[in-house]
């Protein structure tokens, strides 16, 4: 998991009409993959072919920075591949891809179908007809490392093809607090109650548009009873029984490592 802030190398700004001769380009295709040059760096120039749009999003490493969406057949990399190639580029790409998604998804007003325009002050697409405002959206989600003595609760998720066991996670529902979401998800998916819930840290997770909020908690009561839908199996693991993930890209790996270190 990357610990540094995106703002160490980035200053926010935005425009759909800005141009520059000295720039970085975050060029995505329709699969949300990022184009890198032959030496696997960001391109500093761009040929204007097969381009859906070009959006200025501020300065990255003191250079003007643009998002472009294209149908080009050049060499593109998934975001997880970018993480392994260059973590600084990946960190900035997590913002760039989410702004790209927002800009694509709100070209027309969801209320009256009128073409939207970029606001002059805020990063917001507004409808010139009905006034509806369309801001970038993220989906808050929780992930929790639950401990019982020297054991960690891990579960087999139905949607994880390549990971045997992982931590409990889920999206926050409308009308509930972050803390309520943790307790609800654990009870719904595993059938147990937890206590001593503590927030640890958060992470932008652009798969596709989450803000992951990491917690630790302790077992309180109940027996493991999985829902059979999202969770297929669950059990307690001692630290030497845990099979680690292939990558440290996620906050989940950080929470597991913290448990191992503490034990």
Q: Is residue 94 within 8 Å of 67, Cβ to Cβ? A: no
| 82, 172: one domain | no
| 64, 148: one domain | no
What Cα–Cα distance (Å) separates residue 233 from each residue in 93, 109, 153, 154, 186? 34, 43, 11, 9, 13
| pLDDT of 47 above 80 | no
Mean pLDDT in residue range 203-221: 97
Mean pLDDT in residue range 41-48: 86
Mean pLDDT in residue range 66-84: 91
Domain presence at residue 224: yes
Q: Is residue 232 within 8 Å of 190, Cβ to Cβ? A: no
Q: Report the C-alpha gap between 52 and 17 in whole angstroms.
A: 14
The pLDDT > 70 percentage for the chain reads 98
| 237, 189: one domain | yes
Domain presence at residue 217: yes
Domain presence at residue 152: yes
Domain of 174, CATH number, reads 3.90.79.10
The pLDDT > 90 percentage for the chain reads 87
How far does the chain reach from its first CA to its final CA, in angstroms? Answer: 20
Domain presence at residue 118: no
Domain C-terminal end among 80, 105, 130:
105
Of 5, 55, 4, nearest to 28 by C-alpha is 55
| 98, 15: one domain | yes
pLDDT (tens digit per residue) in 124-158: 999 999 999 999 999 999 999 999 999 999 999 88
Domain presence at residue 112: no
Q: Is residue 167 within 8 Å of 143, Cβ to Cβ? A: yes
**Amino acid 164: pLDDT:** 84
| 143, 242: one domain | yes
Mean pLDDT in residue range 166-181: 97
Q: What DSSP assignment string belongs to 1-32?
A: ---S-GGGSEEEEEESS---SSEEEEEE-TTS
**Amino acid 160: pLDDT:** 73
- Name the domain count of the chain: 2
The residue range of the domain holding 199 is 139-262
Mean pLDDT in residue range 26-41: 94
Domain presence at residue 51: yes
**Amino acid 49: pLDDT:** 65
- Within 13 Å, how many C-alpha atoms sit on residue 225's CB side? 8
| 95, 169: one domain | no
Mean pLDDT in residue range 68-87: 91
Domain presence at residue 115: no
| 145, 233: one domain | yes
Of 43, 77, 220, 208, nearest to 141 by C-alpha is 208
Q: Report the C-alpha gap between 125 and 186 in whole angstroms.
A: 37
Domain presence at residue 1: no
| 18, 75: one domain | yes
**Amino acid 174: pLDDT:** 97
**Amino acid 24: pLDDT:** 97
Rg of the chain over all Cα atoms, to the nearest angstrom: 21
Q: Report the C-alpha gap between 215 and 182 in whole angstroms.
A: 8
pLDDT (tens digit per residue) in 177-195: 999 999 999 999 999 999 9
pLDDT (tens digit per residue) in 88-131: 999 999 999 999 999 999 999 999 999 999 999 999 999 999 99
């Amino acid at each position: 998991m990357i610990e540094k802030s995106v703002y160490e190398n980035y200053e926010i700004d935005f425009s759909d009409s800005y141009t520059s001769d000295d720039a970085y380009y975050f060029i995505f295709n329709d699969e949300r993959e990022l184009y890198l040059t032959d030496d696997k760096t960001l391109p500093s120039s761009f040929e204007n072919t097969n381009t859906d749009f070009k959006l200025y999003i501020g300065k990255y490493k003191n250079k003007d920075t643009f998002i472009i969406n294209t149908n080009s057949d050049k060499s593109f990399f998934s975001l997880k591949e970018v993480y392994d190639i260059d973590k600084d580029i990946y960190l900035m790409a997590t913002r760039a891809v989410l702004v790209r998604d927002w800009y694509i998804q709100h070209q027309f007003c969801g209320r009256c179908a009128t073409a939207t325009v970029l606001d002059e002050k805020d990063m917001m697409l507004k409808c010139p007809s009905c006034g509806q405002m369309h801001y970038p959206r993220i989906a808050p989600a929780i992930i929790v490392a639950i401990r019982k003595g020297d054991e960690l609760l891990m579960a087999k998720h139905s949607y994880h093809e390549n990971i045997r066991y992982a931590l409990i996670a889920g999206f926050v529902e409308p009308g509930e607090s972050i803390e309520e979401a943790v307790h609800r998800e654990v009870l719904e998916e595993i059938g147990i109650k937890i206590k001593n819930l503590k927030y640890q840290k958060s992470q932008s997770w652009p798969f596709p548009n989450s803000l992951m909020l990491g917690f630790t908690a302790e077992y309180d009561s109940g027996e493991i009873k999985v829902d059979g839908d999202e969770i297929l199996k669950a059990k307690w693991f001692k630290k030497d029984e845990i099979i680690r993930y292939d990558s440290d890209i996620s906050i989940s790996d950080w929470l597991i490592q913290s448990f191992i270190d503490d034990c």
